[in-house]
Chains A and B, each alone.
Chain A
Amino acid sequence: MNPDVKYFLQLVLSGLTKGSIYALIALGYTMVYGIIKLINFAHGEIYMIGAFTALIIGGVLQITTELSPLVILGISLVAAVFYSAAYGVTLEKIAYKPLRNAPRLTALISAIGMSLILQNFVLLAQTSDFLPFRSMIPDFSFLIPGKSLLTTTQLVIMVTTFVVMLFLTLLIKFTRMGKAMRATAQDKVMAQLVGIDINRVITFTFVIGSATAAIGGVLIANHTGQINFYIGFLAGIKAFVAAVLGGIGSIPGAVLGSFVLGMTESLGAGYISSAYDNAFAFLILILILIFKPSGLLGRNEVEKV
């Protein structure tokens, strides 16, 4: 293969990996936004808590039991999903529900506060040090010839992102709850009038959004091999950028935005300099919003006058 072409393909694959990583977090961001029109600033922290729970539960099982690694992976993943969802729902009840009719700015500040609380809770309850996160995904040996192109973990992340997106799209399009979610997203008052329990819908949205974050947390920790209390903040901001880029509130938008972001960073790093990868990410965000203020796939909401 022509080395230049190979180089380009490798960068594209890196971009896809990054994109998939961002997408796993951005999906939850965008879902929550779609329903309550609030940037859940603490979403990154939910992702971090998912990773921490998996680490703790996995670690305990490894040390105190004789279970096989795959069983441990399964149990810790379930625990991570459960706890992230529980934290997500609790967070909504405490910090967002009382502010449903408050100005957006107030709710956003509450969300920033919640993000600080969760970060520092984990810092104080656990440690500020990085903790090793042993990869629990077995290496598929058949991939070894292509090792320099794609690692097993990367492949698993990409496939998972795709499956989660498909699942969420189907959920929203075809289930009863999905319909209720769409109705709530469009008009809360009308949704209530037609008998939708919007509290249940919102809780459900937080459960699903947080669960995807937990899956993301576990997979990404497998990829990076380490976690600390601060990972959620940085990842959260990137995912937030991706969601806004794609048009916040739109599921395919979140995935598209994530890929655009990942690709920009990867190609920018490959052909210009990786020192600027975050700068490229933010620059593309600003450029897209200047020309399309509601993001790539976002609906341009005309304010009712």
Chain B
Amino acid sequence: MSRTILDIKDFSMVFGGLRAVDHANMHIDEGEIVALIGPNGAGKTTLFNCVTGVYTPSEGDISVVSPLGKSVRTNGLKPNRITELGLARTFQNIRLFSSMTALENVMIGRHPKLHAGIFGAIFRDSKTRREEEAVIEDSLNILKKLGLEKYANDSASSLPYGAQRLLEIARAMATEPQLLLLDEPAAGMNPQETRELDDTIKRIRDDEGITILLIEHDMSLVMSLSERIYVLDYGKMIASGTPEEVKSNPAVIKAYLGE
């Protein structure tokens, strides 16, 4: 059995009396592609935000297991610490560094893997110089993997919408995560782009060995990609299992179709 990367136990998030997520449990194993679905406002993004440290969970435990098998409880850790533990994410409403070029966006993703400090930057010793050369090289490679190299020197905000979504993925990949959290990666893409995205995500998992958790509304993409699915409704985890199991789960059908 493969190693569990992310373990969420009995987790709740309360915003001023409103239970956005209520006693949810979830676990992700290495090498999986897992989807988190649910109607709008079900608490999916809130769960993402708690896992990545944007919010601190109200109750429960979230732990991340490092490749060496050490488990770290992440409740209350800052987002940058969680990124260093090997979690990286994209945002539902695109949050690129808009004044920078596409390449620079990816270079920033390399931040946790680099070491140069202020003095290194100023004196630019040979180590720093090598590091800088490698950053450009590595970042370009990541752009190439996602077919974005033609945009390398373009301002991130001037990219087409689909490319911006891909650039977010590229930027997250640059942090060399073990688990990549994608928040509605296909939102706003046309069917052609969505099909390509399907391939891209599979490639990321297969070639890079990155485990993937995604929130998505496009059911055909979810069904084709994911090996397991969790369903959130009104903050409660109402179902989980393989795509087939979830599809036939009466609670899920009820949640999606109403009564």
Answer yes or no: B97 CB below 8 A from chain A CBs.
no
- Asked if A5 is an interface residue, CB under 8 A from chain B, the answer is no
Q: Are A302's CB and B45's CB within 8 A?
A: no
The residue in chain B whose Cβ has the minimal distance to the Cβ of A300 is: B16
Q: How far is the CA of A302 from the CA of B46 in the complex (A)?
A: 12
- Complex alpha-carbon distance, A302 and B54, angstroms: 10
Say yes or no for A305: interface residue by CB 8 A criterion. yes
Partner of A302, one of B15, B91, B92: B15
Q: How far is the CA of A15 from the CA of B10 in the complex (A)?
A: 51
| A293 shortest CB reach to chain B, Å | 15
A248 to B36, CA, bound (A): 38
CB-defined contacts of B93 to chain A, threshold 8 Å: 304
Which residues on B sit within 8 Å (CB–CB) of A304? Answer: 93
**Complex formed: what's the CA distance from A93 to B93 in Å?**
31
1/0 per residue, CB under 8 A from B, across A276-305: the answer is: 000000000000000000000000001011
- With the chains together, A302 CA to B15 CA distance in Å? 10
**Distance of A300 Cα from B194 Cα, bound (Å):** 38
Query: B200 within 8 Å of A by Cβ?
Result: no
Tell yes or no: B71 within 8 A of A by CB: no
Nearest to B52 among chain A residues (CB) is A305
Number of interface residues of A (CB under 8 A): 3
**Closest Cβ of chain A: how far from B96's Cβ, in Å?**
14
Measured in the bound complex, the distance between the Cα atoms of B55 and A305 in whole Å is: 10
Tell me if B141 is interfacial: C-beta within 8 Å of chain A.
no
Kindly state whether residue B58 has any CB partner on chain A within 8 Å. Answer: no
CA distance A304 to B46 in the complex (A): 10
Chain A residues with Cβ under 8 A from B157's Cβ? none
Which A residue's beta carbon lies closest to that of B89?
A: A305
| Contact residues of A: prevailing secondary structure | loop
Give A305 to B20 CA distance when docked, in angstroms.
14
When distances are taken between beta carbons in the complex, the residues of chain A under 8 Å from B226 are none
Q: Mark interface residues in A3-29 (1 if CB within 8 Å of B CB, else 0).
A: 000000000000000000000000000
Contact B91 A305 (CB under 8 A): yes
B66 interface residue (CB < 8 Å to A): no
Complex interface bits, B40-60 against A, C-beta within 8 A gives 1, otherwise 0 = 000001000100001100000
- Cα–Cα distance between A305 and B15 once the two chains are bound (Å): 14
CA distance A305 to B45 in the complex (A): 8
Measured between beta carbons, the chain A residues less than 8 angstroms from B92 are 305
- Which residues does chain B contribute within 8 Å of A302, judged by CB atoms? 15, 55
Q: Nearest residue in B to A304 (C-beta to C-beta)? A: B93
A305 and B53 CA atoms in complex are apart in Å by 12
Complex: how many Å from CA A302 to CA B13?
Answer: 14
Interchain CA distance A302-B50 in the complex, whole Å: 13
A7 to chain B, nearest CB (A): 44
Interface positions, chain A 195-231, Cβ under 8 Å from B, are none
Q: How far is the CA of A302 from the CA of B55 in the complex (A)?
A: 9
List A contacts of B45 (CB < 8 A).
305
Query: Which residues on the A side are within 8 Å of B54 (C-beta)?
Result: 305
Expressed in whole angstroms, the Cα–Cα distance for A108 and B85 within the complex equals: 38
Residues of A within 8 A of B95 (CB): 305
Select from chain A the residue with minimum beta-carbon distance to B92: A305
C-alpha gap A71/B92 in the complex (Å): 62
A to B CB contacts below 8 Å, 6 in the list: A302-B55, A305-B45, A305-B49, A305-B54, A305-B92, A305-B95
Going nearest first, the 5 A-B pairs with the smallest beta carbon separation are A305-B54, A305-B49, A305-B91, A305-B45, A302-B15
